[in-house]
Amino acid sequence: MAQGKYELKDLRNIGIIAHIDAGKTTTTEAVLYRTGLKHKIGAVHEGETTTDWMAQEKERGITITAAAVTCFWKDHKINIIDTPGHIDFTVEVERSLRVLDGAVVVFDGKMGVESQSETVWRQADKYNVPRICFINKINQTGGDFYKSLDSIHNRLSKRAFATHLPIGFEQSVSGIVDLIDMKSYTYKDFADKELVVGDVPADMLEKAKKYRSLLVENAVAEDEQTLEKYFEVGEEGLSEEDIKKAIRSAVLSGKFFVVSGGDGRGVIVEKLLDTVNDFLPSPLDRGSSWGLNPKNGDEIERKPEPSEPFAALAFKIATDPFVGKLAFFRAYSGKVTTGSYILNSSTGEKERVGRIVRLHADKREDIDEVEAGDIAAIVGLKGTSTGHTLCDSANPIVLESISFPEPPVSIAIEPKTKADQEKMSTALQRLAEEDPTFRIKMDHETGQTIISGMGELHLEIIVDRMKREFAVEASVGQPQVAYRETIRKDNVEAEGKYIRQTGGRGQYGHVWLRIKQNELGKGFEFINRIKGGAIPNEYIPAIRAGVEEAMANGVIAGYPVVDVVAELYDGSFHEVDSSEVAFKIAGSMALQDAVKKAGPVLLEPIMKVVVVTPEGYMGDVIGDLNAKRGRVESLEDLSPGIKQITAYAPLGEMFGYTTNLRSMTQGRAASTMELDRYEDVPANVAEKIIAKSGK
């Protein structure tokens, strides 16, 4: 099939998701090699891979940014997004899953389900993304397909069934048995170009029949037609096509998962590609998209057809050193052509489509148009950010955006020279456009620039990118915790009165606020309960702005106040002296006074910490976590002599933890950390933080 036109039913938009170091990028490499896009398989540790193209990725051997590649396999076009496994870059997984139709979850066959495997699985559940499982590295010492399958059953889903069983064990793995056609597919060397088809090995026949029955029995239960036939003719009477149809229906439900396995470096990815084509959804399977009409708020449907009005979601912004700003987008309906004008319905601005490019990691291929269901990038859109809707200006629609967590770690950053000053603000602005979990703010009291991110590694990469991509030399301070403030009393009232009488016109603003706790994570709500014109309507927005400004600057220690409902219920005004400025100041004063009376507390980010350690060091690791105000939640046996500790600990105690853990365990333990929730800071710790803030 030509690489231009293809039917929508033959398109697959998939993500490769996994725990760090499970082998996502290597598997993607093998796919590109097998589909003819590469002449050799790049090695991650040698910095040769296609999708890990940033300098920082090559050096660290990890994926930092989601990279898109397009390949073709057996009359199907497959758009693949290789996503990061490190929790600091979880935003890349989140935004990729929002626009993808299916996913391949890669597991390390030596470790089974790991902590990040659970996180990405939950993210896929959130967006109801159908997925298939690939157990990688089963050819390595300690690699065990069946043990990993058990860990999927125990920790993720009981509804996961093997479609392939490995032939051989550890280093002797030489192929798989396909449980659908009951044939063997073998290779001699992982660099082989073709699989050899044969009969199921005699010593595996019983096992293969058992696993096939399990697969078929459970799959047909999800497809009524095949279920009826199954009751009539039994498993033997079902054709391969019947079984594939039933499995496909089951996988598309998002509650049934097929499991394959192998050496992700090799030719076995042929069977993975077949599984993607056979069982993961096309844009047609995912059906219509729904959005809102920005003019009246009505719900609108968009079918995945080129004849519909154009609607797309920008899911990632990237700065390219050669072409400038790239907006990655997924087209849900209609089509867009170069030279046309589109509407950014999230901002109300019209934008011209200068160039459209097909993506191959860091390489670009110019194309003239993109139709419904496809993924590509537009060069040079000025006002477009992550989560914005791009659409036909005559038929506006706003699609559901993407929500991102608040970043818990901050550092102060300063340019080293005067010349770096201007370049730094441009660089930070560009990087913030790309990454919605990266924030910048000015601390007006100290004059410092504060940058916030998802973790120490996240911020380290940002500073490194500034240096390499924007030639900015900067000094950074120690990591700081992004504390929050909130209240613990309800229905507290306070007055804000701002009166200034100077020569000429004075200033007069007077408000009464009532505040109470909001639900955890709900943020700030402002309710206007002014009756009878006690305060004219034109001053209400100014009061709200004053309240929000006071909350952003904090009351007890200078950290943002969160999860508060503020009701404006009374006040007064002066015919001549009242102004927006006066009411803004009065609103700010009332909020500060109310918070001080409402039992204010400091909140700190609590991290979920997962440590995998040899058993001999377990006591030291637990003792160290306890010393850091950590609470150990669970202990599990991962494999003989290897323990997994799950604990919750305050971020403030965990800076530099990875380095400490390495020295404590002679480099043999590993840890991952992710933000779990915010909790009240103990009183003795809060006193020190407040004293330090100088408030």
- Alpha-carbon Rg for the chain in angstroms: 28
Residue at which a domain ends, from 251, 280, 309: 280
Q: Is the pLDDT of residue 58 over 60?
A: no
Residue at which a domain ends, from 351, 376, 399: 399
The answer to whether residues 256 and 219 touch, using CB atoms and an 8 Å cutoff, is yes
Per-position b or e across 521-542, b if 16+ CB within 10 A of its CB: eeebebeeebeeeebeeebbeb
143 and 15 housed in the same domain: yes
**In a domain? residue 43:** yes
**In a domain? residue 233:** no
Q: With bands split at pLDDT 50, 70 and 90, how would you rate the model's confidence at 454?
A: confident
Query: What are the residues whose beta carbons fall under 8 Å from the beta carbon of 449, sequence distance 6 or more?
Result: 412, 413, 414, 424, 425, 428, 440, 441, 442, 443
pLDDT of res. 63: 38
**In a domain? residue 220:** no
The pairs formed by 351-354 with CB atoms below 8 angstroms and a separation of 24 or more are 351/381, 351/382, 351/383, 351/384, 351/390, 353/378, 353/381, 354/378, 354/379, 354/380
Q: With bands split at pLDDT 50, 70 and 90, how would you rate the model's confidence at 542?
A: very high
User: Would you put residue 668 in left (φ > 0), alpha (ψ -120 to 50) or beta?
Assistant: alpha
Percent of the chain's residues with pLDDT above 90: 33
Q: Is the pLDDT of residue 142 over 50?
A: yes
79 and 151 housed in the same domain: yes
Q: What are 159's two structure tokens?
A: 């509804």
53 and 164 housed in the same domain: yes
Q: With CA atoms as reference, report the closest residue to 327 among 374, 377, 367, 362.
A: 377
pLDDT of res. 37: 57
Count of helices and strands (H, E) across the chain: 17, 38
Q: What range defines the domain where residue 351 resides?
A: 289-399
Q: Any bridge partners for residue 678, and if so which?
A: 605
381 and 447 housed in the same domain: no
Q: Is beta strand 11-18 parallel, antiparallel or unpaired with respect to 102-108? A: parallel
At residue 674, φ and ψ (nearest 5 deg) are -140, 150
Helix axis angle for 580-597 and 540-553, nearest 10°, is: 50
Query: What are the residues whose beta carbons fall under 8 Å from the beta carbon of 435, sequence distance 6 or more?
Result: 91, 462
At residue 521, φ and ψ (nearest 5 deg) are 85, 0
Summarize the confidence of residues 467-479 as an average pLDDT. Answer: 83
Q: CA torsion sign, 253 to 259 to 265 to 266? A: negative
Place of tokens 């449980």: 179
Tens-place pLDDT, residues 78-104: 888 767 655 556 666 776 777 889 999
475 and 489 housed in the same domain: no
Any idea what the CATH number is for the domain that residue 299 is in?
2.40.30.10
Residue at which a domain ends, from 280, 311, 340: 280
pLDDT of res. 52: 37
83 and 203 housed in the same domain: yes
Any idea what the CATH number is for the domain that residue 541 is in?
3.30.230.10
Q: What is the DSSP letter of 676?
A: E
The one-letter code for the residue type at 636 is E
Mean pLDDT of the chain: 84
Place of tokens 């391949």: 104
More confident residue, 427 or 649: 649
pLDDT of res. 38: 46
338 and 442 housed in the same domain: no
**In a domain? residue 114:** yes
The one-letter code for the residue type at 49 is T
186 and 263 housed in the same domain: yes
Q: Is the pLDDT of residue 611 over 70?
A: yes
SS3 of 611-653: the string is EEEEHHHHHHHHHHHHHCCCEEEEEEEEECCEEEEEEEEEHHH
At residue 624, φ and ψ (nearest 5 deg) are -65, -40
Summarize the confidence of residues 572-586 as an average pLDDT. Answer: 90
**In a domain? residue 145:** yes
Domain total in the chain: 5
393 and 312 housed in the same domain: yes
Q: What is the DSSP letter of 194?
A: S
Percent of the chain's residues with pLDDT above 70: 90
Query: What are the residues whose beta carbons fall under 8 Å from the beta carbon of 37, sequence distance 6 or more?
Result: 50, 69, 71, 360
The answer to whether residues 195 and 270 touch, using CB atoms and an 8 Å cutoff, is yes
Q: Is the pLDDT of residue 62 over 70?
A: no
**In a domain? residue 226:** no
Per-position b or e across 319-334, b if 16+ CB within 10 A of its CB: beeeeebbbbbbbbbb
363 and 392 housed in the same domain: yes
190 and 158 housed in the same domain: yes
**In a domain? residue 224:** no
Any idea what the CATH number is for the domain that residue 413 is in?
3.30.70.870
Any idea what the CATH number is for the domain that residue 689 is in?
3.30.70.240
E strand spans, 84-186: 102-108, 131-136, 160-162, 164-167, 175-178, 183-186
**Pure H helices in 193-348:** 205-220, 224-233, 240-252, 269-279, 283-286
Q: Is the pLDDT of residue 53 over 90?
A: no
pLDDT of res. 57: 38
Q: Is the pLDDT of residue 48 over 60?
A: no
114 and 155 housed in the same domain: yes
